[in-house]
Structure formats: C-alpha cells, structure tokens
Structure 1
Amino acid sequence: MTATSIDWNRVGMGPQPARLRPRSRRKLRWLPGRPAVGLGLAAAVVLLLWALLPYDNTLRLAVWWNAKRLREALLPAPSERWAHDDAPPRHPLDVGRDVLVIVKTGYGTRDRVPAWLEALPEASRFRDIMVIADSEGDVMFAAPGAPEEQKLHVYDAVGHSIRQHLAAFRGHPRVRKYQQLAEAIYRGDEALALQHCRAFGWELDAMKFLSGLEMAYQKYPDKQWYLLVDDDTYLVQPTLFRLLQHLDPRRPRYLGNPVGDFRARFAHGGSGIALSRAAVARLVGDRRGLAALHAASLDETWGDRLLARALLRLGVHLDETYARWFNGEPPALARVRADRVCAPLASFHKFPSPDAMRDVGRRFRDLPVDGEALVWGRLWEMHGRPAPWAVPDGEAADGWDYVGLPDESMLTLGGVGAAAACRRHCERRSRACMAWSWDAAAGLCHVSAWMTVGEPAPGKVSGVNVPRAKRLAAECGL
C-alpha cells in the first residue's frame, strides 16, 4: 500500500495531514475578512475621514496630536544653534516696516501701557505699535531718548466687534456690560468705570483678540508678522528678531506658549502670540467663520483659546517647536527647567506693577536689539546674582528661595527638621531635582524640577543642584 492510500481514520490517527494532501490547482485569493484586507479598509476609512472631517473635529485633532507626539518621541529635537550663530537670516526682515506689535489693555489697566512703552530700549526696532482696549482714548508716555511726552491712540476693539459683527446680539449680557462701561466713561464717572472693570473687565477681554487682529490687518495689511501681547508682557527683541527671521511669513504660522489639551491647544496670550501674515490673512478672510466666532466671544472665558479655535477651523495649528522661547512669568520667577538652560528666551509676563515693567526695561536695556538671542541661563546675570553653576557645591542661601510658589507639580515633604535634610532629598533625586527650598517654620521641604533666580524669603533656606546645573550650562558655554 502506498503512502497516499493509507486510511488514517482506520489506524486511529485522524484525518490526513495537510502536507500529504494533494494540492489544489485553484489559485488562492485574498478574500474579505483576511487581515491584510481589513487593514487596508481601515486605512482607507481613516484617510477618507481625514479628508472629509473639519480641521477642528475632535477625532482629527486626536490623530494629529498623537502623530505629533510620536514624531517627537522618535526624532531628535531640532537644533537651535542657528539662534546664536552669525549666519545670515533665512528670511530677513525690516522690523520697523514688517512687524506690528498689538498691545492689549483695558480701561482698568491702561496705566500699564505707558510703562510698557517706556520699558522699550532706546534702540528699539518697533516702529508701529497698536494699542487695543475696551474703550477709545489716548495714552501719554515718555519715550526713551525723547525730549518730551508722546501720545499714542488706543482703539476700542470690543466696540468694533459689537458694531461690525454683533448687531443681532444687542441684548446679550456681555454687550450690556460693555455699554455700562462706555456710559460711565462718557459721564466721567471714574469710580464707577473702575468698578465695572473689576467686576467684568475679564469678560470684555475675551472679545478683543479676534477684533484686535481684524482691526490690525485692516490698518496694516502689509505687515509680515503680527505680535499680540498683553500690557504686562515684555518682549526680548534680539531673541524675537532671530526667531521671526528664521521663519517664512508666507506660510501660516501661529507661535506661542502652549496651554490646554489636544482639543483646544492654544498659545497663552500673556506669554505673547506671534502670527505670520499668511495666518492673519486667512483668519480675516474667513468672513462667515469670523462672524460666528465673534458671536462665540460673547460667552468665551479666554480670548486666546477662542483665537486658537478660529485658526484650527482653517487648519492652522499652534507650532510648538519654539514653545520654550515664550514664557508666562516675570524674570526673577521664571522656571528654568533642565531643557531650558541653553534655550532662547523671548518674553516675560505677569509683572505686579507698572514700575516692575520699567525695572525690567532698565535691566535689559543694554541688550543689543540686533545681537545674540538671550538664553534662560543668563537670567541670573541680568539680575546681578551669581549663576547656580558658579555657586560652591553645597552652599545654600539663607533667606532666599530658588523654587518659588509651591504647586502640585513639585514634591513637598513634611516633617523635615533641617535644611541639610531637605538638600539630601534633592540629591537622592539628582536626575530630576533642580532646586530645593526648606521652610523652617512649617518644617516643609520643597523639591522642584526647575530653578529660578529667586527672591528674598525670610525663614527659608534654599539651594540648587549645583553639579547638574554645571553640566547643563557647559552645553552652551555659560
């Protein structure tokens, strides 16, 4: 009996093995349900949805966000060496002609605007500055190097939004609040006007972003860059000019300090927002979408988030490549993390008073506006303090705080009885710790992943992770 004639069932070995079965002459075909076909169909569905879904659809934003995170994980961070070398810029600018600064203020904070203007260096390259607010008026200021006071007009961005886009919403509570403020200002009732600003000025602020950019584009349509800043935002001109001249304004660009999750990732207004001409032209040109978003501003809490929504509808995402360049804190309290010691620094924010703005202007006045970009690691030098990498190992500062206000992102340990014990907690976490601060009265030890220039803090002892700070500073020759 040949092998092919064996009755396998009779000998108790089950059906004939596949390797001994005669091969079928029919060609195998990929049938529906097979893995390759399923993957192909899934990919086709994803591509179809990607093509058909609006830019601001949650599914599309989730795919975009995760693809970006994956790319960041797999690829090395782009080099920023160009910010410090002497090579010609890729996209040269005449800053006075090509850049517009839009300073956002309000009736209740208008005293900050003269300080903002007076903090500019004498060699400032900013020529066109447009101030927007919730009322019309003028501000007087002492320009650096000018023999007498100068005047700058303030444009009513909220009134513009109401007149041009919100005629059908005259009864909305936010419109009525604007009218109450306008009436108090018209009657010269300063106390009532300031009371209104304290009560609902923040609501009117959300209405300034879109209308301010719209007014700016109408008045200055040929600018290559539009910088939108708060009245307590300081711009470091040499750093900013390096960045703008590295990027092509003919492409839609939206830059700033990122806040929020993937569904509404937006640039923090206080840290400063940079928009290319292409981005602003696309925004202002979308008349139907812009009208709907002006209506949305009546209920929006944050105008900078609304601006991001408007841009997302048009396919313009926040570019986070240069996120570290924009900062939402004042210089002495700016959190210098490990990846920022050698990174360029273009803005500061949240000054407690107009005099604090003038003070930072004096500290940074000697920076050549066409010079090298300022890096985070030079903040100590700008404040006349020894740099952390110049401090002897183990030396702590009594009555000083290198950490700053505690929050949920730092490690706080209770029952710590001495500064030396707090320092050891930092040393045990040397790969994560940048600075530590011990509160003697409370027995609390704060360990942070950043360090600051710091400020006087009676009753505290503080120090930095000196070996780590030295290694980081050596990377850029500080």
Structure 2
Amino acid sequence: MLSFSSRYARWLPILAGAALIFIILDLQHLRKVGTGLFKAEPLEVIIEPDHNSIKPSNQTVQPDHKIPASASACRPLPGIEDVLVIVKTGITEALDKIPVHVRTTLRCIPNVLIVSDFEEEIDGIRTHDVFRNMSNSVRENKEFGLYNRARNHGRAGLTEQDFVKVANSAAGMGDNPGWALDKWKFLPMVVEARNYHPTAKWYFVLEADTYPFWSNLLVWLENFDSSKKWYLGNQMMISGDVFAHGGSGFALSNGAINAVADEYTKRMDAWHDRTMASWAGDCMLGIALLEIGISLTWSWPHVTGQSVWDQDAVNEAYGERPWCHAPVTFHHMTPTDIEMMYKFETEWFSDKNHSHLLYSDVFSRVVHPRLADRLDDWDNKAGTELIKEGDEEAKWTLSECAEACAQDTKCIQYSIDEAGTCKTSDLILRGVPSPGVTAGTMMWRVDSKVHSLGECENPEWVIPT
C-alpha cells in the first residue's frame, strides 16, 4: 500500500478533487468533438460521385470560425445572417491572404465558407477542398498537377514554380499552376455553397484579395427579391460572353444558385469539357447561368476590379459616376490595404450618423490625403503617352511633362519614367510605388473637380428599373 509523509498527506484531497474535475471535463470534450471549430475527421473513403446524385444538404450550418464572444465587438449588420459569404482562395496564397480577413472582414460574419484547392486550418478557420467530389478522370488533367501534389503530400508537395509570379495577359496567367487550376473552382463551388447552407437568401463570392463593405452590400441587396433568380456583378466580356468578374465579387440569390447547381450536376461531363477549353472560370459560370435563363445584372461601380488606389471616383463609365454610389468591394487589395480599410471603415461606422459609405467619402478620407503635387518612385497609372511634335523618339523632361499637363485643361495627373516617357490622365488615382517613375497631380484641378461634384444628398444604387 502506498504511503505519504505527513508533509504531502494534506494535499491528497485537493489533488483527488482536481483529478476528478479533469476527467469530467475531458469526457465532455470528447462528446463535443466534431461539432465545433476543430472537427474530428473520419477515415476518408473516396467514392466516385454519381454526377446526377448530388443533392442539397438539409443539415444545419456549422460555422467554420468563431465570432467574437463579446457582442459589443461587432456592430449590427441586419440581414447578414441570411448571407453565405464565400471566399475563394488557393494553397499558394491562402497563408498570406486569409489571416487578415479572419481578424478583420470576417470577424463578425456568421456564415462563411472558404473554398480552396487544399483543406487546412488557417488561424482558426477551415478551408474546404472544392474538388473533393470531382471525378478522378477530371483530376488526372495536367491542370490539376498542383492539386494532386498537395493532396498527396500537403504543402511539402509544392515547388518554387508554384509561387512564381507571371505577367498577366489578355488570356490570364496560364503559366502559373495555381491560376490555371483556379478556373475549375467556380462551378463546383456553387454546389459546395448550396450544400453548405441551402437556405441562405444570398451567396456572395469574393477572392482573398477583395475587400468587402458589408453594410453597403446589405442595403444594396434589399432592392432585390432573393426568391427570384439574381446574378449581380461587375460586367466583363470574353468573345461576346458577358459574365461577372470573379475578383470584383458577385452575388447569387437562392433561386439562382439552386438553378445553376442543378444544371452543373446534371451535365458535369459537358461542363468539364467546356471548362477545359476555356481559361476563365468566372466566364464559364456566367455562360452556365445565361444558358438557364439567368442574365447578369450589371453592377459596376458597386463591385469593381480595381483597388481603392486604382479606382477613379469622379469620372463616368458604363453610364454611371462612382462619386455618390456606395462601394461594395475593392479588388487587388494587399493585406496592409485590408487592415487600413478595415480601420477606416470601423471608425466611420462608429459614428451613429453614418448608415452608409460612399465613394466620395472614401476619396475624401482615404485617397485625397495621400495625393501630392509630386511623388518620386511612384506611378499614378496615367495612361496617355505624349509624343513630342515632329520627333516621336524625343525624350521628355520632368518639367516639360508637367507643363504639358498644365496646358491641357482636362489633364489632372501625369507621370514620367527614366526613359523620358511622359504620360497624362484625366483620372484621379493614388497609384502604387514604382522605382524610377515620378508622378505628379494638379491638386488645384482635383479640388476644383471635387467642388463641382458637390455633396451627395442620398446614395445612388444600381438596381433594375
């Protein structure tokens, strides 16, 4: 029989009680495994799906991340519970781009689905393998090389080539393995989203470098009946096919996502053949929607393919002027941009007088303070190249380029590079760092333009008439 000295005997009741509590808590934990954030996974058995048998799931949605326990940490977002937010990403970018959303834009969103080409946990949120129900015959395609390596070896299966940045072209970035794989995600993504939350009124898709304004999105969606078939996005065209640009973010109503998910599951082989022959998955989704009678509702400038630094707020395009419209997204936003915009938006909506945010507000508070008469090693994206009269190869000096802009009453910005190439623009953009480029802005013309546009009495919305 074990014996203890009198020195330790007095601790026995305390230690016994602690051990009993530990056993009880551990048993409670085991009963809960599989229902919370970190789910216990059963042994995986891969079964080839019947292309005609994928049906909506009736199970209750289990959020893949935790909303902050303190209700005061989240401002009210009436209607957000009816929206499934879908973030599309991939293994080569997820670790860089998802964490900032977890701590900012997704913090207070109850229904989030992260679709990727690799399943993993990132900062407490789970990514879903969007290809998990796709047939092996499709996954044997060479464009699934990255996916198959990651599936078999995890992140250890990645190569340096997977992370190489390639130049974007009129046909995308086909030389990048992740980009080539991405086009396959759009159609299976709608099935994953429908099965994940079949009763959502809206499904809003964005990419990991897209910044969303939830308050503006919810007010905008109030203008549409979610029981009808709506497809809302930034209009793009490839060979006559009009579709919503994926990077800009787009919305599908419950009726629309059910219709296109059914179409895809009925004719998977045909859609896979067409996807193989295409280079843009967002275009394929748009084609599928149109073929079942759901056309795109053009939604620029609410959703845009430009970052906050590259989207002009004052000039008209597609018959709309952004100034008094409410932005819903900005694309090509870096993690630093997202942190900055989230801080600005949080402070903006902390004012009880602010129920919405307009392009004019973003310009006045975010863009305008960062403009300057001259910025070295900076490109403001001026796009009209000037040619010296009588000498097409003559170089410009900085003062000549600035004077040329000043003499043109429509010119607001100019830039000149080390080769002496002078460019001008009537847009007002912040732009991006660029070694060897000098950018200039006619600030008095900026202020005059802003003054002529005036204050926005009410937000303008792109809605069907």
The 3 A distance-change label for structure 1 pair 416 and 342 is farther
Q: Displacement, 1:282?
A: 0.9
Deviations 1:310-342 (A, max 9, x none): 11111211111x211112222223223422222
In the alignment, structure 1 residue 461 sits paired with structure 2 residue 440: yes
Shift of 1:159: 2.7
Q: Does 1:155 align with 2:128?
A: yes
- Counterpart mapping for 1:26-425 below 5 A: 94-111=78-95, 112-120=97-105, 124=108, 126-140=109-123, 151-160=124-133, 162=134, 166-169=135-138, 171-185=140-154, 189=156, 191-192=158-159, 195-196=161-162, 198=164, 199-261=176-238, 263-286=240-263, 287-320=265-298, 322-338=299-315, 339-352=321-334, 354-368=335-349, 371-383=354-366, 385-386=368-369, 397-399=373-375, 404-407=380-383, 410-414=384-388, 415-417=395-397, 419=399, 422=402, 425=405
| Offset at residue 360 of structure 1 (A) | 2.5
Q: Could you tell me how far 1:158 is from its partner in structure 2? A: 2.2
Cα distance between partner residues in 1 of 2:400 and 2:215: 41
Measured in 1, the distance between the counterparts of 2:278 and 2:428 equals 35
What's the Cα RMSD here? 3.2
Q: Would the alpha carbon gap of residues 300 and 261 (structure 1) be closer, same or farther in structure 2, given more than 3 Å must change? A: closer
Contact 2:380 2:415 in 1 (8 A): no
Shift of 1:412: 3.5
Contact 1:283 1:290 in 2 (8 A): no
CA distance in 1, matches of 2:369, 2:194: 45
Q: Distance in 1 between matches of 2:401 and 2:310?
A: 25
In structure 2, the CA distance between the partners of 1:206 and 1:423, relative to structure 1 (3 Å rule), is: same
Q: Is the deviation greater in 452-461 or in 343-352? A: 452-461
Cα distance in 1, alignment partners of residues 151 and 163 from structure 2: 11
CA contact (8 A) 2:248 2:330 kept: yes
Shift of 1:217: 0.3
Q: What is the CA–CA distance in structure 1 between the aligned matches of 2:284 and 2:349, rounded to whole Å?
A: 35
Deviations 1:405-433 (A, max 9, x none): 344xx354455545476455465353xx4
Normalising by the residue count of structure 1, what TM-score does the alignment of the two structures yield? 0.66
Q: Distance in 2 between matches of 1:282 and 1:331?
A: 34
**2:382, 2:414 within 8 Å by CA — same for their partners in 1?**
no
The residue correspondences of 1:434-453 to structure 2 (distance < 5 A) are 435-439=412-416, 441-453=418-430
Question: Residue in 2 aligned with 1:14?
Answer: none
**8 Å contact kept, 2:379–2:433:** no
Q: Please report how far the alpha carbon of residue 243 of structure 1 lies from its aligned counterpart in structure 2 after TM superposition.
A: 0.8
SS of the residue corresponding to residue 446 of structure 1 reads strand
Identity of aligned residues (%): 22
Deviations 1:250-286 (A, max 9, x none): 2211111112257211111111111111111110122
SS in 1 for 2:121: strand
Q: What one-letter code is carried by the residue in structure 2 that aligns with 1:203?
A: A
- Partner deviation per Cα, 1:190-237 (whole Å, 9 max, x = no partner): 554x64465511122111111111111011011111011101111012
| 1:51-78 deviation digits (Å, cap 9, x = unpaired) | xxxxxxxxxxxxxxxxxxxxxxxxxxxx
Deviation (angstroms), 1:134: 0.4
Unaligned runs of 5+ in 2: 1-76, 165-175, 316-320, 389-394, 459-465
CA distance in 1, matches of 2:132, 2:358: 40
The Cα of 1:177 is off from its aligned counterpart by 4.6
Aligned to 2:40: none
Larger Rg: 1
Query: Compared with structure 1, are the counterparts of its residues 347 and 127 closer, same or farther at alpha carbon in structure 2 (3 Å cutoff)?
Result: same
Q: Which amino acid aligns with 2:342?
A: G
CA 1:181–1:421 in structure 2 vs 1: closer, same or farther (change >3 Å)?
Answer: closer
* Change in CA separation of 1:455 and 1:170 when aligned onto 2, cut-off 3 Å: closer
Specify the code of the residue in structure 1 equivalent to 2:102: L
1:71-102 per-residue CA deviation (whole Å, 9 max, x = no partner) reads xxxxxxxxxxxxxxxxxxxxxx9523210110
Q: Write the letter of the residue equivalent to 1:106.
A: G
> Aligned residue for 2:5?
none
* Runs of 5+ unmatched residues, structure 1: 1-92, 141-150, 389-395
1:276 maps to a residue whose letter is: S
Confirm or deny: 8 A CA contact 1:380 1:387 kept in the other structure.
Answer: no
State the distance in 2 between where 1:212 and 1:159 align: 11
d(CA) in 2 for partners of 1:325, 1:436: 25
**Structure 1 pair 242/412, CA: closer, same or farther in 2 (3 Å)?**
farther
Q: 2:382, 2:424 within 8 Å by CA — same for their partners in 1? A: no
Quote the Cα distance in structure 1 between the aligned partners of 2:337 and 2:397: 36
The answer to whether the Cα contact below 8 Å between 1:403 and 1:452 also exists between their aligned partners in 2 is no
1:459: Cα distance to partner?
3.7
**Matched residue of 1:158: which SS?**
coil
Structure with higher helix content: 1
Contact 1:325 1:343 in 2 (8 A): yes
CA drift of 1:290 comes to: 4.7
Q: Any idea what the Cα deviations from partners look like across 1:438-471, whole Å, max 9, x if unmatched?
A: 4275444422232113456774332253375135
Question: d(CA) in 1 for partners of 2:137 and 2:237?
Answer: 31
* SS in structure 1 at match of 2:247: helix
Alpha carbons of structure 1 residues 397 and 298: separation in structure 2 relative to 1, 3 Å: same
**Which secondary structure does the structure 1 equivalent of 2:180 belong to?**
helix
Counterpart Cα distance in 1 of 2:267 and 2:409: 50
